[in-house]
């Protein structure tokens, strides 16, 4: 394998991105030169996504693009689309190798067997019955300041629109020691902010002795860690005790991404989301009474099957009431193999587009209002990259609440945490931070 060139492309979530980086490091350690996803590579690896039909299409497009860039290269499809559509990919002339979830750790041995003319068996694991957490680890990350740490895989929720429990399998938690060892290694390389991620992060620990809050507390004890941020959470994990324990951790970033999907109880029920808007509202109250101006962000799906104008209006009113810092809006995409795909009263695209645009405008208003509330407040900014705004150079970074802030270049330096006050807006959603 020495001297060969490999190009990788990631599609989908932060967990996928983590796994792609881990596979890249495996290839580097085995003599591959990592090159851009362009013509000239000997190996193309696409870590696919299948969360929507559009994700499926993008996965196929990237695989076909790889084949065109070098017809003689080995084209590898890995990940969730592989897990959901293995037979289609086997029949696809663009793909040489398919590697399902929980087999990515075996990438190098699979490649060796393929190049030796031997065919690896069981490259697609039956994830429905898989109980083993796939150990992948990072020694570095593509980012220079922030590291995403995968601590959990799988999901037991079975939301009616989602295929992921079938492609990722049931909940599996990473061993506490593996998490601590990886984070310790990364802090030694200078990474200061750790983001704990998973397919269903809130379920971490339901299959192990260590709960999520206990894991966070252990990470907090690592000397080199300066910030701890969490990936997406389910509302059910938010309790008075959970919030109070987090508040005691000075390194914790009070930025909570609480998945909502709809602000209408009838729609939530059809989605099989397992909470009501009343329960969700209470979780937001707990966080806002425990922390001073925490950032609450969320996801919303518009145009879910059966969503009437009245149901959409309830969602919009709920978003106006809660006033999220950011709302990520998705138009419902019919996903083959899910219960929602077979539901009656599918919403036309024109209506989805209209509803999406309404919520995008509301999000812009809410985001600006939240950022304005932080004017003249003292914040800490982790400097991440140098940028230019109207001829002046700054270091751009994020506060603990994930507000984008810029400090004058003369004060900043990549990977430095600075304390200052948030001031005027330099450009949309980027605030000036004056150093104390």
CATH of the domain at 106: 3.40.50.12160
- Would you say residue 225 lies in a domain? yes
Residue-level pLDDT at 126: 57
**Residues 345 and 311 sit within 8 Å (Cβ to Cβ):** no
Q: How many residues does the chain have?
A: 436
The answer on pLDDT for 131 being more than 80 is no
Domain membership of residue 131 (yes or no) is no
**Higher pLDDT, residue 138 or 63:** 63
Is the per-residue pLDDT at 180 higher than 90?
yes
pLDDT band (50, 70, 90) for residue 129? low
- Tell me the CATH number at 327: 3.80.30.20
Q: Does residue 220 sit in the same domain as residue 327?
A: yes
Q: What is the pLDDT of residue 121?
A: 47
Domain residue limits at 120: 5-125
Q: Tell me what percent of the residues of the chain surpass a pLDDT of 90.
A: 84
User: Considering the domain boundaries, does residue 141 fall inside one?
Assistant: no
Q: Is the pLDDT of residue 221 over 60?
A: yes
Judge if 404 and 304 occupy the same domain.
no
* Confidence class for position 88, pLDDT limits 50, 70, 90: confident
Residue 162 contacts by C-beta under 8 Å, 6 or more apart in sequence? Answer: 51, 155, 335, 338
Task: Please give the helix or strand (H or E) that residue 80 lies within, else none.
Answer: helix 80-84
Q: What pLDDT score does 79 carry? A: 92
The answer to the question of residue 79 being in a domain is yes
> The tokens 């492309």 sit on which residue?
9
Could you give phi then psi for residue 188, rounded to 5 degrees?
-65, -20
Residues 6+ apart with CB under 8 A from 360: 329
From the list 413, 381, 424, 393, the residue with the least C-alpha distance to 193 is 381
The domain boundary, picked from 125, 159, 193, lies at 125
Output the pLDDT for position 130.
Answer: 64
Q: What pLDDT was estimated at residue 260?
A: 98
Distance set, CA 206 to CA 5, 133, 136, 159 (Å): 41, 13, 20, 19
Shared domain for 313 and 337, answered yes or no, is yes
**Per-residue model confidence (pLDDT) at position 137:** 84
Q: What is the mean pLDDT of residues 389-395?
A: 96
Same domain for 80 and 178?
Answer: no
- What whole-number distance in Å separates Cα of residue 299 and Cα of residue 301? 7
- For the cut 60, the answer to whether the pLDDT of residue 224 exceeds it is yes
Please identify, among 319, 342, 372, the residue that sits at the C-terminal boundary of a domain. 372
Overall domain count for the chain: 3
Least confident of 137-141, 237-241, 428-432: 137-141
Label residue 7 by pLDDT band (50, 70, 90).
very high
Statement to judge: residues 107 and 63 lie in one domain: yes
CA distance 235 to 205: 16
Torsion of CA 302, 303, 306, 308, to 10 degrees: 80
Least confident of 124-128, 186-190, 377-381: 124-128
368 shares a domain with 390: no
367 shares a domain with 218: yes
Residue 138 lies in a domain: no
Burial class of residue 113 (count of CB atoms within 10 Å of its CB; 0-12, 13-18, 19+): middle
- The pTM of the full predicted model, rounded to 2 decimals, is 0.91
49-53, 66-70, 247-251, range with the lowest pLDDT: 49-53
**Tens digit of each residue's pLDDT (9 = 90 or more) over 296-343:** 999 999 999 999 999 999 999 999 999 999 999 999 998 888 999 999
Last residue of a domain, one of 372, 390, 410: 372
CB–CB of 9/62 below 8 Å?
A: yes
H or E element, residue 330: strand 326-331
348 lies in some domain: yes
Are 365 and 382 found together in one domain? no
CB 232 within 8 A of CB 259: yes
Average pLDDT over residues 346-375: 98
Inside any domain, residue 133: no
Cα radius of gyration (the chain): 22
Instruction: Indicate if 329 and 348 belong to the same structural domain.
Output: yes
Average confidence (pLDDT) over 240-265: 98
Residues 216 and 362 in one domain: yes
- Does residue 399 share a domain with residue 366? no
Question: Is the confidence at residue 226, as pLDDT, over 80?
Answer: yes
128 has a pLDDT exceeding 70: no
Mean pLDDT across the chain? 93
- Is there a domain that residue 45 lies in? yes
Q: What is the pLDDT of residue 426?
A: 96
Contacts of 272 (CB under 8 A, 6+ apart): 157, 158, 159, 160, 339
Residues 345, 208 share a domain: yes
Of the listed ranges 74-88, 110-124, 143-157, the least confidently predicted one is: 110-124
**Predicted local confidence at residue 47, as pLDDT:** 97
């Amino acid at each position: 394998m020495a001297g060969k060139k490999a190009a990788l492309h990631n599609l989908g979530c932060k967990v996928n991105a983590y796994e792609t980086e881990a596979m890249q490091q495996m290839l580097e350690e085995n003599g591959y030169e990592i090159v851009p996803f362009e013509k000239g590579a000997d190996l193309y690896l696409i870590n696919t996504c299948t969360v929507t039909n559009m994700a499926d299409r993008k996965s196929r497009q990237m695989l076909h693009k790889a084949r065109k860039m070098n017809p003689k290269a080995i084209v590898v499809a890995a990940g969730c689309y592989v897990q959901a559509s293995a037979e289609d990919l086997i029949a696809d002339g663009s793909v040489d190798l398919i590697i399902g979830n929980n087999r990515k750790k075996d990438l190098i041995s699979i490649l060796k067997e393929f190049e030796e003319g031997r065919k690896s068996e069981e490259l697609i694991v039956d994830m429905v019955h898989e109980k083993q957490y796939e150990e992948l680890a990072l020694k570095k990350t593509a980012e220079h300041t922030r590291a995403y740490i995968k601590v959990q895989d799988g999901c037991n929720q079975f939301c009616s629109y989602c295929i992921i429990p079938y492609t990722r399998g049931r909940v599996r938690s990473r061993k506490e020691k593996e998490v601590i060892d990886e984070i310790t290694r990364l802090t030694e390389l200078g990474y200061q902010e750790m983001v704990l991620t998973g397919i269903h992060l809130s379920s971490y620990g339901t299959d192990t002795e260590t709960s999520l809050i206990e894991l966070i507390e252990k990470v907090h004890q690592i000397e080199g860690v300066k910030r701890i941020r969490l990936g997406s959470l389910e509302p059910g994990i938010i309790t008075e005790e959970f919030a109070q324990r987090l508040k005691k951790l000075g390194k914790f970033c009070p930025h909570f991404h609480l998945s909502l999907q709809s602000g209408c109880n009838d729609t939530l029920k059809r989605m099989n989301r397992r909470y009501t808007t009343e329960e969700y509202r209470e979780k937001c109250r707990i966080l806002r009474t425990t922390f001073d101006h925490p950032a609450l962000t969320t996801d919303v799906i518009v145009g879910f099957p059966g969503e009437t104008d009245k149901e959409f209006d309830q969602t919009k009113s709920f978003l106006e009431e809660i006033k999220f810092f950011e709302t990520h809006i998705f138009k419902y995409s019919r996903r083959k193999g899910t219960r929602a795909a077979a539901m009656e009263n599918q919403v036309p695209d024109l209506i989805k587009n209209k509803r999406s645009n309404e919520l995008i405008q509301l999000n812009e208003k809410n985001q600006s209002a939240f950022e304005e509330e932080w004017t003249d407040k003292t914040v800490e900014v982790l400097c991440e990259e140098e940028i230019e705004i109207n001829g002046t150079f700054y270091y751009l970074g994020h506060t603990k609440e994930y507000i984008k802030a810029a400090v004058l270049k003369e004060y900043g330096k990549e990977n430095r945490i600075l304390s200052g006050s948030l001031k005027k807006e330099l450009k949309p959603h980027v605030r000036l931070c004056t150093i104390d």
